[in-house]
Amino acid sequence: MLTEKDKEVIQEAVANAEHKTSGEIRVHIDKICEGDPVKRAVEVFEELKMHETALRNGVLIYVALSNHKLAIIGDKGINELVPSNFWDSTRDTLIHHFKSENFVTGLEAAVNEAGKQLSAFFPLQEGDANELSNEISTNE
């Protein structure tokens, strides 16, 4: 799956993206997703306690590498403000890179796109704290 170097690249992308927004971004990688990736992403979101941010502005990029499934979900604070197609550009970025099997580049680009998208609704605030870990969670 991902090497430690790959994980570092993606975690650095998360940190850089979060320097543009008060939103919180997490990436979760499963080897395989047996069912609906959105349902699995919701489970992971809850397991990671992503709903506990002050502004409810966490976003999870969920990917099951072996069977090419993905989901991008935001918390209540995001969903109340953004249009229904808000994550389309982030999803499209992932798919574009994944088709060429550029998984790390795709995740890095998707994280950057998510940060850019979030900054329009959740700009970085003075004294902003990193509420969620930037580490990639996995179920490999």
By C-alpha distance, which of 87, 80, 98, 83 is closest to 59? 87
* Three-state secondary structure call for residue 24: strand
Confidence at residue 140, expressed as pLDDT on a 0 to 100 scale: 64
Q: Where are the domains of the chain?
A: 4-120
Token pair listed for 138: 């996995």
Task: Confirm if 1 and 140 have CB atoms less than 8 A apart.
Answer: yes
Tokens 């509420």 locate to 131
Residue 35 pLDDT grade (very low, low, confident, very high; cuts 50, 70, 90): very high
Tokens 């306690």 locate to 49
Its pTM stands at 0.95
For the segment(s) 4-120, the CATH number from 3.10.310.50, 3.20.20.70, 3.40.1080.10, 3.30.750.200 is 3.10.310.50
Task: Confirm if 31 and 64 have CB atoms less than 8 A apart.
Answer: yes
Q: Tens digit of pLDDT for each residue in 4-21?
A: 999 999 999 999 999 999
Tokens 């047996």 locate to 34
Mean of the pLDDT values across residues 48-61?
Answer: 95
